Amino acid sequence: MNNLCLAIGSLIILVGKTATVNSYNSINEILLEEIYRPNGNMVKLDLVRAQGKGAKEEVSASATFIDGFWQYTPMLNSFSKVTLDYLPTIKSYTVCNDYGCKTLPELFPTIQLNQTVDLVVCTNQ
């Protein structure tokens, strides 16, 4: 079975069967949670949840308000990868799996601002 991995260049870290990617945009003051899973050799976005000022404007018109979050299931095709941009306006991405959550700097201690991390399907991990 396929798993999800995070990659910066040749450095690859196993995430697992699903990954929840959290980010906080300090300009828009929005917490965004995206839940991904493998779909064959592609990455599928299963659920999006948003909370904060203007959160309703960041999500689909079909979103429902549940437990303090606007959430919806996106009708998107799968992706070959999902790129996380490590930007000063995003208070560190946090990636969660069955074992807990870690920020990108905890996962990649040498990460620099404006560097990218790819969420990909890994078949040999």
CA distance 123 to 4: 8
| Per-residue model confidence (pLDDT) at position 3 | 92
| Per-residue model confidence (pLDDT) at position 113 | 86
Share of the chain above pLDDT 70, in %: 93
Q: How far is CA 106 from CA 2, 48, 72, 86, 95, in A?
A: 24, 24, 29, 13, 10
CA distance 4 to 38: 6
For 41-65, write each residue's pLDDT tens digit: 999 999 999 888 776 666 677 888 9
| Per-residue model confidence (pLDDT) at position 124 | 65
Q: Structural domain boundaries of the chain? A: 3-122
Q: What average pLDDT score do residues 93-101 get?
A: 90
For 71-83, write each residue's pLDDT tens digit: 988 888 899 999 9
* Mean pLDDT (the chain, rounded): 87
